[in-house]
């Protein structure tokens, strides 16, 4: 079976359409991030999260009302799909409260069982992050993201040249920005949590790695073809490179998308936000290697006057 | 085929290595199956008989993260600010407190060590001021320079972490958790992992309290011996111990939390033990010590029997047979005989004669004459007064140093000690003297520890996560395997074989490096499955391209592999870097993800480039077969 073989799409020629699409997506994302903001999880904000299992289905809003008076602050309450044996129902309760974990936990359990007699609430998962620790996690994540981008830029620059490095990093910013934008836009509309926590940062870095993987394969082909077809215009050489690698790009994205979707469906509630980020990231990352990273290289070449220069090997 | 001998050797070698590392995990699985099929009684006996084998299997098996097996992950922070305050004690003044508060805020904002921030703030405030004004010790005098004081503070800070570790380890040991892990993280944090804990409230309460150090008198040897005889004969006649709640007196209820928690760890074990009355239930677990060797010891108990012993001794009637005010405590230092550890059981008076706050300093030293290790201990004036009276009245007897209910040392009083300076001699090693110093100081300088992060996953949720991970892995694998065969035919089948080998390698790497498999880690493996085929996709696409130019199969394969190589390497190295960065900045489950991602890249590079090549070479050159790349 073969798909996308010997294609001859004028991908470089239609790069303007890509710019428009990416521009719109980036503007939308920035707009969403500025106006709607990003919801930080307790990893970066500090607070407590309890998953409470109960023997009857509890209404999230009613539980929230009941707990607001007990905790003296309004907790977030969501349904939680993973539960233990016996088909019990579970809720995720998130509160910014500080203090003794055991005390707050008792208040939550007591509050629910008072409001819903016979519901037999039990805490099956607890996550507590102190404000200081949250600061450290935030700092660590920031370093991780910046560090990865820097290392990637340096590596691509070393193995290719600076124009490629810039192209790759531009594509990565594009991917992460749009994924963040989608998170911001969709938060509150999906049945699972889209809060930014450590796992989401790990997902972003994986997206970065994945998108780069795609980009590097195309760059590698451009590097090879510029040496092979020295007499042809650069744009044509680039377009040919993108077209010959297109089949691989689609196949690998396809298999990766398949497994990530598998994880999204079967991986459970804990991984849902993480895998959702990966699904978006794989799609955007594949698109950006063809329509962002490569065009940036083309633009930089045509700007720099000497339209054709041998690429360092 | 030339030159493939080395490649074949490498594949076989790595497969064998993975199998070697994974073998204990398979044994662990079959062990769990076998134990699951046994009755409670058989299980206890089996676990007792095979204690060391089971322990070694557990130790070498692939570790499951707490999110997969349930348990508690706790990060604790040692209060360095309180420690600095404590060290300055009465020399503190307003300026000192202000500097300390400013330093605390700065260390948090700038992520620098509190001690550095403190010294810096202090010098900023008044460059000519001397830190030695506030701190005084053996090493620090009025004339000590600020850098000497800084060094002293750093040593004290490191010691405080060390002491906190000791206290935490000591407490964790009593939860009866199978594989607790206690590690330092950075300069002031301690990470405790307790698999399978289902009572987080108790753990929180026990981990947080400050350490309690006390000096206790010990049982009279004569009384102890006769009560030991009575208890042995109690279990000899084998009266089923009635759990009559009326017998439990007030004192029992008021007993320290840790003693009854350790006793209820394994009631079940004890009950089944009472039923099989092959001999004396007590002497099954208690090893008597020949008379005269250690008169304050009740006996010795092997590490695996401690739970059973605790349960036997918890019987109220047995408690009543012990000498008045005497309780049984374990010695912190087990004796080791042919790989098994034996804990001496000591009879300690429950009254605290003197608390650890009386100690002002303790140091490990050597006797100048005999060069034997010893411990120097100093007490404050009030402590010295009580100590003098205590030692005067108990010459020739033992005094137990008890921290959180565990006896660390029980030196014999040689003579009355007045003036507050004492020496503990007759220690086996320098290590022992240093341990005792740590214990003595944990009473003297209690740096508070605070829980700054907690992640608890209930056991039922762990099972759900495990199933979710396994299902995703299987479904993901099946989809990719089928896709590859449909799309690349014979080539795809070879790639699938490489994929299976790839997964074996990843698991082998994880087991070999003693890494922990978490749910994000499994996600990493599933993701790797999707991306691992990438290397083969790159190669196969190249082979197809080469074939379409009319080259022979052999030439196409050669060309495909050699031309795809640079793209494969470049693409994977960058992802590997990302994994490395994630590993160094992430914590817990995220590190698990980073580890599997990196292991996956290494394994897939090897299996996709080396392994598949061997197969193609064998098929095309060796057997002159035609391979269809779809």
- The architecture CATH gives domain A15-41+134-303: Up-down Bundle (1.20)
Q: Which residues of B touch A45 (CB under 8 A)?
A: none
CB B333 within 8 A of CB B297: no
Q: How does residue B32 score in pLDDT terms, banded at 50, 70 and 90?
A: confident
Inter-chain touch B460–A268, beta carbons under 8 Å: no
Lowest mean pLDDT among A163-167, B92-96, B323-327, B345-349: B92-96
When pLDDT is cut at 50, 70 and 90, the band that residue B187 belongs to is confident
Question: How far apart (Å, rounded) are the C-alpha atoms in residues B566 and A43?
Answer: 39
Per the CB < 8 Å rule, is B581 touching A151?
A: yes
Residues B596, B598, B601, CA angle at the centre, nearest 5°? 105
Could you report the per-residue pLDDT of A164-207, keeping only the tens digit for each?
989 998 998 899 899 999 999 998 888 888 889 888 888 888 88
pLDDT for A143: 84
How would residue B82 be classed by pLDDT, with cut points 50, 70 and 90? confident
With a cut of 60, say whether residue A155 has pLDDT above it. yes
pLDDT in tens, B123-148: 888 888 888 888 877 777 778 888 88
The answer to whether residue B567 scores a pLDDT higher than 90 is: no
- Comparing C-alpha atoms, which of B21, B46, B49 is closest to residue B33? B46
Rounded Cα gap, residues A48 and A95, in angstroms? 5
Residue numbers in A near B452 (CB within 8 A):
129-130, 132-133
Greatest mean pLDDT among B32-41, B46-55, B443-452, B559-568: B559-568
Annotated domain spans of chain B:
4-19+458-622, 71-206, 213-451
Residue A32 has pLDDT above 90, yes or no: yes
Cβ of B478: how many Cβ atoms within 10 Å? Answer: 11
Strand bridging mode B181-185 / B359-366: unpaired
Q: Does B498 touch chain A (CB under 8 A)?
A: no
> Chain A residue closest to B112 (CA)?
A136
Instruction: Supply the pLDDT for residue A83.
Output: 67
Beta-carbon contacts of B469 under 8 Å, excluding residues fewer than 6 positions away, are A267, A268, B68, B519, B522, B523
Instruction: Place A11 in a pLDDT band, splitting at 50, 70 and 90.
Output: confident
pLDDT at B593 over 80: yes
Inter-CA distances, B509 with B115, B183, B503, B513, B602, Å: 40, 22, 10, 6, 10
Global pTM?
0.77
Element (H, E) at B325: none
| In A126-197, alpha helices (H) | 131-159, 162-186
- Closest approach of chain B CAs to the CA of A109, in angstroms? 13
Long-range CB pairs of A101-107 (<8 Å, 24+ gap) are A101/A48, A101/A126, A101/A128, A101/B200, A101/B204, A101/B451, A101/B454, A102/B200, A102/B201, A102/B204, A102/B205, A104/A48, A104/A71, A105/A48, A105/A50, A105/B201, A107/A70, A107/A71
Lowest mean pLDDT, pick from B164-178, B375-389, B524-538:
B164-178
Give the pLDDT confidence of B226-278 residue by residue, as tens digits: 888 888 888 876 555 544 444 433 333 333 333 333 333 334 344 444 444 45
pLDDT of residue B255: 35
Q: Does any CB of chain A come closer than 8 Å to the CB of residue B270?
A: no
What is the predicted pLDDT for the residue at B3?
64
* Cα–Cα distance measured from residue B14 to residue B504, given in angstroms and rounded to the nearest whole number: 10
pLDDT tens-digit map of B464-492? 888 899 999 999 999 999 999 999 888 89
The minimum CA-CA distance between A258 and chain B, rounded to whole Å, is: 7
Cα separation, B379 vs B353, in Å, equals 14
Classify B179 as helix, strand or coil: coil
With 0-12 / 13-18 / 19 or more C-beta atoms within 10 angstroms meaning exposed / middle / buried, residue B47 is: middle
Q: Is 70 exceeded by the pLDDT of residue B363?
A: yes
Catalogue the E-assigned strands of B522-570.
none
Which alpha helices (DSSP H) does chain A contain, by range? 15-35, 42-45, 60-71, 101-115, 131-159, 162-186, 198-228, 234-266, 269-288, 294-303
- B104 vs B250: which has the higher pLDDT: B104
**CA-closest candidate to residue A214, choices B602, B574, B596, B487:** B574
Measured in angstroms, the CA of A92 and the nearest CA of chain B are apart by 13
User: Alpha-carbon distance B630 to B618, whole Å?
Assistant: 19
ipTM given for this complex: 0.86
Percentage, residues of chain B above pLDDT 70: 90
Cα(B546)–Cα(B544) distance, integer angstroms = 5
> Has residue B36 got a pLDDT over 60?
yes
**Which residues in chain B (579-608) have CB-CB distances under 8 A to chain A?**
579, 581-582, 584-587, 589-590, 593-594, 597
Return the CATH number of the domain spanning residue range A47-129. Answer: 3.30.70.3400
- H/E element holding B548? helix B519-548
Query: In the prediction, which pLDDT does A79 show?
Result: 84
> Closest-CA residue in chain B for A122?
B458
Contacts of A50 (CB under 8 A, 6+ apart): A92, A93, A94, A105, A108, A123, A125, A126
Residue A308: band (very low, low, confident or very high) from pLDDT cuts 50, 70, 90: very low
CA A117 to chain centre: 41
Residue range B555-567: mean pLDDT, rounded = 89
Domain boundaries, chain A: 15-41+134-303, 47-129
Greatest mean pLDDT range, B113-117, B196-200, B626-630: B113-117
Tell me which DSSP letter residue B411 carries: P
Q: What CATH number does domain B4-19+458-622 carry, 1.20.1090.10, 1.20.1640.10, 3.30.1280.10, 3.40.30.10?
A: 1.20.1640.10
To probe the interface with A, which of B479, B492, B578 has the most A CB atoms within 10 Å?
Answer: B578
Angle at B59 between CA B54 and CA B64, to 5 degrees: 110
**Among residues of chain A, what percentage have pLDDT more than 70?**
95
Alpha helices (runs of H) in B143-242, residue ranges in sequence order? 146-172, 200-208, 221-237
Mutating which of B487, B548, B582 best tests the A interface, going by the most A Cβ atoms within 10 A? B582
CB atoms within 10 A of CB B588: 20
Q: In the predicted model, what is the mean pLDDT of chain A?
A: 86
Contact B585 A140 (CB under 8 A): yes
Q: A8 near A254, Cβ under 8 Å?
A: no
What's the pLDDT score for residue A34? 94
The mean of the pLDDT values for chain B is: 81
Quote the minimal CA–CA distance from B326 to chain A in Å: 33
DSSP, res B606: I
Looking at residue B264, its pLDDT comes to: 38
Q: Is the pLDDT of residue A292 over 70?
A: yes
Residue A299 CA to residue B178 CA, distance in Å, equals: 61
The pLDDT score that the predictor gives to residue B590 is 77
End-to-end CA gap in chain A: 34
Q: Nearest chain B residue to A141 by CA: give it.
A: B585
Q: Which residue, B150, B183, B180, is CA-closest to B164? A: B183
- Of chain B, the percentage scoring pLDDT greater than 90 comes to 8
């Amino acid at each position: 079976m073969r798909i996308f073989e010997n294609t001859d799409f004028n991908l470089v020629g239609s790069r303007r359409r890509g710019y428009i699409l990416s521009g719109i997506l980036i503007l939308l994302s920035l707009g969403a991030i500025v106006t709607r903001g990003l919801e930080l999880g307790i990893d970066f904000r500090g607070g407590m999260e309890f998953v409470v299992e109960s023997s009857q289905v509890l209404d999230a809003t009613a539980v929230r009302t009941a707990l607001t008076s007990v905790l003296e602050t309004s907790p977030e309450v969501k349904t939680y799909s993973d539960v233990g044996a016996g088909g019990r129902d579970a809720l995720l309760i998130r509160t910014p409260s500080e203090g003794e974990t055991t005390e707050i936990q008792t208040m939550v359990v007591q509050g629910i069982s008072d409001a819903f007699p016979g519901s037999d609430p039990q805490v099956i998962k607890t996550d507590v992050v102190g404000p200081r620790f949250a600061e450290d996690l935030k700092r660590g994540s920031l370093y991780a993201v910046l560090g990865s981008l820097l290392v990637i830029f340096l590596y691509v620059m070393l193995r290719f040249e600076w124009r490629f490095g810039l192209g790759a990093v531009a594509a990565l910013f594009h991917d992460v920005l749009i994924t963040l934008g989608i998170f911001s836009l969709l938060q509150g509309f999906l049945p699972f949590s889209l809060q930014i926590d450590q796992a989401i940062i790990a997902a972003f870095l994986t997206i970065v790695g994945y998108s780069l993987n795609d980009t590097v394969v195309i760059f590698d082909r451009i590097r090879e073809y510029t040496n092979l077809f020295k007499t042809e215009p650069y744009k044509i050489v680039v377009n040919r490179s993108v077209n010959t690698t297109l089949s691989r790009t689609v196949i690998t994205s396809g298999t990766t998308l398949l497994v990530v979707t598998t994880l999204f469906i079967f991986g459970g509630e804990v991984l849902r936000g993480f895998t959702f980020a990966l699904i978006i990231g794989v799609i955007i990352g594949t698109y950006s290697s063809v329509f962002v990273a490569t065009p940036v290289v083309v633009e930089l070449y045509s700007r720099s006057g000497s339209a054709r220069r041998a690429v360092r090997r | 085929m030339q030159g493939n001998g080395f490649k074949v050797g490498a594949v076989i070698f790595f497969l064998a290595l993975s199998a070697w590392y994974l073998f204990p995990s398979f044994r662990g699985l079959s062990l769990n199956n076998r134990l699951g099929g046994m009755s409670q009684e058989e299980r206890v006996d089996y676990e007792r008989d095979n204690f060391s084998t089971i322990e070694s299997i557990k130790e070498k098996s692939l570790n499951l993260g707490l999110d997969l097996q349930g348990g508690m992950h706790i990060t604790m922070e040692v209060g360095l600010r309180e420690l600095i305050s404590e060290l300055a004690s009465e020399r503190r003044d307003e300026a000192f407190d202000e500097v300390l508060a400013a330093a605390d805020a700065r260390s948090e904002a700038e992520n620098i060590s509190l001690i550095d921030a403190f010294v810096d703030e202090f010098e900023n405030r008044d460059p000519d001021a001397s830190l030695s004004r506030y701190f005084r010790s053996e090493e620090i005098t009025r004339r000590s320079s600020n850098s000497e004081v800084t060094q002293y503070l750093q040593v004290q800070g490191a010691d405080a972490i060390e002491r906190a570790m000791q206290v935490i380890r000591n407490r964790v040991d009593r939860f009866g958790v199978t594989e607790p892990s206690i590690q330092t993280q950075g300069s002031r944090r301690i990470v405790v992992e307790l698999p399978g804990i289902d009572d987080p409230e108790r753990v929180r309460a026990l981990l947080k309290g400050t350490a309690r150090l006390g000096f206790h008198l010990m049982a009279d040897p004569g009384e102890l011996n006769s009560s030991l005889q009575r208890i042995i004969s109690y279990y000899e006649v084998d009266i089923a111990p009635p759990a009559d709640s009326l017998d439990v007196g007030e004192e029992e209820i008021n007993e320290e939390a840790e003693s009854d928690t350790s006793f209820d760890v394994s009631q079940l074990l004890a009950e089944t033990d009472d039923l099989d009355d092959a001999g004396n239930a007590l002497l099954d677990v208690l090893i008597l010590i020949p008379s005269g060797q250690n008169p304050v010891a009740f006996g010795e108990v092997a590490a695996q029997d401690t739970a059973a012993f605790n349960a036997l001794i918890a019987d109220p009637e047995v408690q009543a047979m012990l000498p008045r005010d005497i309780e049984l405590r374990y010695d912190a230092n087990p004796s080791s005989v042919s790989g098994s550890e034996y804990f001496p059981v000591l009879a300690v008076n429950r009254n605290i004669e003197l608390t650890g706050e009386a100690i002002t300093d303790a140091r490990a030293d050597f006797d100048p004459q005999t060069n034997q290790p010893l411990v120097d201990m100093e007490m404050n004036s009030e402590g010295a007064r009580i100590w003098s009276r205590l030692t005067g009245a108990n010459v020739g007897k033992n005094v137990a140093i008890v921290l959180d209910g565990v006896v660390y040392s029980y030196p014999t009083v040689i003579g009355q000690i007045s003036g507050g300076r004492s020496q503990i001699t007759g220690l086996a090693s320098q290590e022992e003297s240093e341990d005792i110093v740590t214990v003595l100081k944990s009473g003297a300088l209690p740096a508070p520890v605070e829980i700054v992060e907690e992640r608890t996953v209930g056991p039922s949720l762990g099972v759900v996560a495990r199933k979710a991970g396994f299902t995703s892995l299987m479904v993901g694998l099946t989809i990719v395997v089928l896709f590859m065969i449909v799309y690349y035919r014979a080539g795809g089948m070879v790639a699938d074989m490489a994929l299976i080998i790839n997964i074996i390698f990843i698991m082998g790497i994880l087991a070999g490096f003693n890494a922990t498999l978490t749910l994000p880690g499994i996600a990493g493996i599933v993701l790797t499955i999707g991306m691992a085929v990438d290397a083969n996709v790159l190669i196969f696409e190249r082979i197809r391209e080469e074939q379409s130019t009319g080259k022979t199969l052999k030439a196409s394969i050669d060309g495909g592999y050699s031309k795809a190589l640079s793209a494969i390497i470049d693409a994977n190295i960058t992802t590997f870097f990302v994994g490395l960065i994630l590993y160094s900045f992430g914590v817990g489950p995220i590190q698990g993800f980073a580890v599997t991602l990196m292991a996956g890249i290494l394994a897939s590079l090897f299996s996709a480039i080396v392994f598949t090549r061997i197969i193609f070479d064998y098929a095309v050159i060796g057997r002159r077969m035609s391979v269809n790349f779809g």
